[in-house]
Amino acid sequence: MTMAQNPMISVVVPMYNEEEVIDVFFEAITPVLRSLTDNYEIICVNDGSSDMTLPKLIAARNNDPAIKIVDLSRNFGKELALTAGLDFATGDAVVPIDADLQDPPELITEMVQKWRDGADMVIAVRSDRDNDGWFKRKSAELFYRVAGRLSDTGIPDNAGDFRLMDRKVIEALRAMPERTRFMKGIFAWLGFKQAEVTYARPKRAAGTTKWKFWKLWNFALEGIFSFTTLPLRIWTYIGFAVSVIAPAYGSFIVVRTLIFGNDVPGYASTITLILFFSGLNMLGLGILGEYVGRVFMEVKRRPLYLVREAIGLELEKEER
């Protein structure tokens, strides 16, 4: 059969402590894939789970050989777990999806149709996030607004990792070896012919979110510092502004002293200026440190991830 008639579809599912949702996830996604093709694989990446995620995945594979398992040696984080799954995927089309069913599997049918119509990447965009908490909705809205303004690469609003990518897109993605990875930015940078599908984001099918405040904050910083040097460039403008203001303020002080004398010692204003500019220096050093730290991680050239065991997959793909 031709690819359009019976394509190979790979679904990539990063999992970290998802024992509560595994059974319902497979019950939801397997009928969708079977309705599309006889040729599919579900690559589940166990990202160092400490619960029963791995045993439950092995039990599910015993009932369905299309389920394949990449067991990482420890918890590397979702971005690298997703990278591992994409590296092992062999499909003509590859779909990253979360196991919590907040990414509706039935949307894959519409994605495949748009792919068959010629799109290289079909992005799932959340049109309604009412089932997310207020803080998560607002923080996501703020992040996409800030990232969109700062980045040279436009990141679609309310678009996560859930999308369909053609094989040529996956091969282009695998040519990007950076160690600090913000996948949403990488997906946007790739380009290619894109289409969108929209959906209302449902509640988690089971379990609890792993994205707590501190993790979301670090993820946001990763997204900003990984895809733009604008935070560094801003300090050029701040330095220029200070270099203009400082002589002007100094001239004002000299003139005022000559005319009115120096009857006020000025201790408070001096301390205020010292604290203000010291704070600016520390903030500038912190931003510089973020970039230096990323250079440090890159030059070590460690593998992106390590695989303890690949079940149902050949370890022919090198760990990157």
| pLDDT above 90 for 11 | yes
Residues 187-206, buried b or exposed e (16+ Cβ, 10 A)? bbbbeeebbbbebebeebbb
Which pLDDT tens digit goes with each residue over 271-308? 666 767 776 777 777 777 777 777 777 777 778 788 88
Domain co-membership, 125 together with 247: no
Q: In the structure, what pLDDT confidence band is assigned to residue 201 with cuts at 50, 70 and 90?
A: confident
Domain co-membership, 186 together with 236: no
Domain co-membership, 108 together with 63: yes
**pLDDT for the residue numbered 127:** 74
Domain co-membership, 33 together with 110: yes
Which pLDDT tens digit goes with each residue over 43-73? 999 988 888 888 889 888 888 888 898 999 8
Domain co-membership, 284 together with 307: no
Question: Is 109 domain-assigned?
Answer: yes
- 269 vs 195, more confident: 195
Which pLDDT tens digit goes with each residue over 115-151? 888 888 898 888 765 655 565 666 666 666 666 666 6
Asked if residues 22 and 57 have their Cβ atoms less than 8 Å apart, the reply is yes
Which pLDDT tens digit goes with each residue over 207-224? 555 555 555 556 566 666
Q: In the structure, what pLDDT confidence band is assigned to residue 164 with cuts at 50, 70 and 90?
A: very high
Question: Is 175 domain-assigned?
Answer: yes
In angstroms, what is the C-alpha Rg of the chain? 25
Domain that holds residue 31: 9-212+303-311
Question: Is 217 domain-assigned?
Answer: no
Domain co-membership, 280 together with 198: no
Question: Is 292 domain-assigned?
Answer: yes
**How many folded domains does the chain comprise?**
2
**204: Cβ–Cβ under 8 A, 6 or more apart, which residues?**
21, 100, 101, 102
DSSP 60-112: HHHH-TTEEEEEESS---HHHHHHHHHHH---SEEEE--TTSSS-TTHHHHHH
Domain co-membership, 150 together with 36: yes
Domain co-membership, 126 together with 153: yes
Helix, strand or coil, per DSSP, at residue 2: coil
> pTM for this structure?
0.66
The encoded tokens of residue 247 equal 């002589």
With 0-12 CB in 10 A as exposed, 13-18 as middle and 19+ as buried, what is 91? Answer: buried
Helix, strand or coil, per DSSP, at residue 178: coil
Question: Is 248 domain-assigned?
Answer: yes
Question: Is 224 domain-assigned?
Answer: no
* Mean pLDDT of the residues in the chain: 76
| Per-residue CA distances from 311 to 46, 59, 260 (Å) | 11, 12, 84
Domain co-membership, 190 together with 68: yes
